[in-house]
Structure 1
Amino acid sequence: MAVHRRSPLPGAFARALVLTAAATTALGVATGGAAQAAPGTPDGPSNRKDVKAQVEQLYDEAEQASEKYNAALDVQQRLQHETGTLQQQVAVAQGELNELRGDLATVAGAEYRGGGMAQTVQLMLSTDPEGYLSKARSLDQAAERQNETLHEVVARQRRLDQRRTEASMKLSELEETRRALAESKQQIQQRLAKAQRLLNSLGAGERARMVAQDAREAEQRATRGTDRLDLGTAPPASERGAAALAAAVRMIGSPYVYGSAGPRAFDCSGLMYWSWRQAGVTLPRTSQAQAYAGQRVSISDARPGDLVIFYRDRHHVGMYAGGGVIVHAPYPGAKVRYESVNAMPVAEVIRL
């Protein structure tokens, strides 16, 4: 990987001051009066530090809820497809069963009208015994087919009942998933709204100092205090890994929006999903599921294109870019950027 010239890496909270409202609006968050809140206590380092820590915690909790939301959304889409398929199968099976029952009713009516006379008596009274015997053999064959049809009706009824039970269970599961979606969305909205209120509580001077501090810290993490962003020379693990990384790098500067997977905005797992799609690979949608999408390797063996999963509960993911640096979508209101792999606790590295 070629060495890249350093580019400005403004911090998440610098951008959050400007863009958090837009990010929350995407999920229907009404910050309302909070956006007009009066400045809080006078400028002071302790207040700025406290607000920053609280906002970081709220964004972290919102991201955890967001990954739960993404997982529930995936389940909902799968269940909707499966439920639709089952309901279609039930409708087709019911039509076939009705047709078979109609055939049985026709045969039963014909037998009733025939009077049920014993074959021996009918043979004695027949003016054409040979013709009657031929018809009798046909009747036996028809009776055999009727018996087979009856067994088929019973079997189809059982399968139909099973499909109806499966469809009912899927519908119940779908309803539970919808409740989980609503709960996760509410958690995201609450945390984003609280973070916005905290940011609005700062005075203009305090916000400016927090912006400058966060920008310096982000730059130092990515460049190790130098004036260049060094991604090293390690080659990607595969051609597809190189293509996925190139796609992710092209998205640097795109905004972070919860639940988004491109092409204009992303959350953390959405960026990985979209980037690998550009390389011809379909990943699971959430960071937790992406942690099982490939082969696990050690962080010391990480190569460009590998997924880096963060935190014990795996609620954040980035893509290794080389030289101890990842590219990821970091926070609400922030933009896709380079970041030091050591900025967050690494859970595992996944090679696809």
Structure 2
Amino acid sequence: MAAHRKPKQRSLRGHTARTAATIALAGAATATAFDGTGHADPRLSPAEVKSKVDALYREAEIATEKYNGAKEKAENAEKSLGELRDEAARKTEKLNTARRELGSIATAQYRSGGIDPAVQLALSSDPDQYLERAALAARADSRQAAAVSGVQKQLQEIDQLHTEADGTLAHLTSRQAELKKHKETVTGKLDAAKRLLSQLTSDQRAEFTGEDKASRDTGRDGVTGVPAKAPSSRASAAVSYAYKALGSPYVWGATGPDAFDCSGLTQAAYRAAGVGLPRTTYAQIAAGERVPRSQLQPGDLVFFYQGISHVGLYVGNGQMIHAPNPSAPVRLAPISQMPFAGATRVA
């Protein structure tokens, strides 16, 4: 009788593993397709590129102004730290001089034996000479007490300077970390904008920046007209500087003389006129007298967007000179081009 064997069962392990792997890969591919990390984005239309780049430039400009503010604070902290260290060095040298003088007094007393005046008088064969020496000793003791008090005071002052320097150093370190963060944000936004713009042809890029050949050569953005007369010599000097800056490249964080960001241009223009302005847009708007849009005069600072993230120099006839963004140089443009947020007269 033939032996009956159980039918051989096929192992499902290998098939199941292969199936699971296949499903996992398919799922990963599907997820990648949705999040776009593994495939090139579908080609955007020029209008979509413009919209995305405009948004990136706006975000970069906000980060740039934060960077400028942090940089200004870091520079001030670094200057203060240097001054504190210089003052501490001067006081330390003064302290060392006082210590040497105090040591000389102590050495003289040691050499004289520090004998009690009454004993010296009893032993002295010349009372008049002793009285003269006693008076000198008394004055020496007074000088010694003053010297000790002076040394103690100087030690306290130096300790206070070191404490202030430690606090300033901590502030500087914090500002430097803030600088790094904002710098990374700016460069990331600008790199993303650059990648998007590379999808456009040269004609499309020119259309995006609103320039024709003439405007690229002059930086005038197609705006013409005779500059209006400024109300003061300082405002006139600032406007004159801005006109000379037409066509200069936009470089974030730059304050001239060869490149500018928006607040760097206005700061440089008024620096040339002998007026000091803060570094950032949100500080510049508070640096003078606020004026309504209807009363603008050449030389006024005009600000845009809700967060006061952009500034230009008004030059009359509804126009300003400003540093727009990395895609365009310093140029003339109508102030109606952007959402108006306010104006300040500084001269």
Of 247, 256, 262 in structure 2, the residue corresponding to residue 262 of structure 1 is 256
Q: Secondary structure at the match of 2:140?
A: helix
> What is the CA deviation profile of residues 307-328 of structure 1, one whole-angstrom value per residue up to 9, with x for unaligned ones?
0122232211001111222111
Given residue 70 of structure 1, which amino acid in structure 2 is its aligned partner?
N
CA apart distance, 1:270? 1.2
1:310/1:316 contact within 8 Å kept: yes
Partner of residue 328, structure 1: 322
Is contact 2:209-2:328 (8 Å) kept?
A: no
Aligned-partner SS, 1:327? strand
Q: Secondary structure at the match of 2:45?
A: helix
Q: Are positions 1:168 and 2:162 aligned together?
A: no
Q: Which has the higher contact order (CA 8 A, sep 6+)?
A: 1
Give the corresponding residue for 1:83: 81
State the Cα distance separating 1:131 from its structure 2 match. 0.4
1:341: how far off? 1.2
**Residue 237 of structure 1 corresponds to which residue in structure 2?**
231
In structure 2, relative to structure 1, the CA distance for the partners of 1:81 and 1:90 (3 Å cut) is same
Cα distance between partner residues in 1 of 2:120 and 2:69: 72
Uncovered stretches (5+) of structure 2, i.e. residues with no partner: 1-38, 215-221
For the 8 Å contact 1:308–1:348, the answer to whether it is kept is yes
Q: Is the 8 Å Cα contact of residues 262 and 322 (structure 2) preserved in structure 1?
A: yes
RMSD (Å), alpha carbons = 2.5
Deviation of the 1:172 alpha carbon: 1.4
Match of 1:199 among 174, 181, 197: 197
CA distance, structure 2, for counterparts of residue 61 and residue 185 of structure 1: 12
Q: In structure 1, what is the equivalent of residue 116 of structure 2? A: 118
| Counterpart contact for 2:250–2:260, Cα < 8 Å | yes
Equivalences, count: 300
Aligned twin of 2:301: 307
Q: Supply the distance in 1 between the matched residues of 2:85 and 2:253 (Cα, whole angstroms).
A: 29
In structure 2, how many angstroms separate the alpha carbons of the residues matched to 1:337 and 1:156?
57
Q: Aligned partners of 1:228, 1:48: CA distance in 2, in Å?
A: 24
Determine the C-alpha separation between the residues in 1 that align with 2:42 and 2:139.
Answer: 96
**C-alpha distance in 2 between matches for 1:284 and 1:152:** 41
**CA separation in 2, counterparts of 1:338 and 1:111?**
81
Q: Counterpart of 1:317 in structure 2: which amino acid?
A: V
- TM superposition shift of 1:130: 0.9
Distance in 2 between the 1:332 and 1:216 partners? 14
Q: 1:95 to 1:232 in 2, by over 3 A?
A: closer
Find the counterpart in structure 1 of residue 126 from structure 2.
Answer: 128
Determine what percentage of the aligned residue pairs are the same residue: 38
Shift of 1:115: 3.6
Match of 2:151 in 1: 153
Check if 1:212 corresponds to 2:212.
Answer: no
Distance change (3 Å), C-alpha of 1:295 and 1:94:
same
Rg comparison, structure with higher value: 2
Tell which deviates more after alignment, 56-65 or 117-126.
117-126
Pick closer, same or farther for the CA change 1:267–1:135 going to 2, 3 Å.
same
Tell me the equivalent position of 1:272: 266
CA separation of 1:334 and 1:154: change in aligned 2, threshold 3 A: same
The 8 Å contact of residues 309 and 347 in structure 1, kept in 2 or not, is answered as yes
The residue number in structure 2 matching 1:253 is 247
TM-score, structure 2 as length reference: 0.79
* Equivalent residue letter for 2:298: P
State the alpha-carbon separation in 2 of the partners of residues 76 and 125 from structure 1.
69
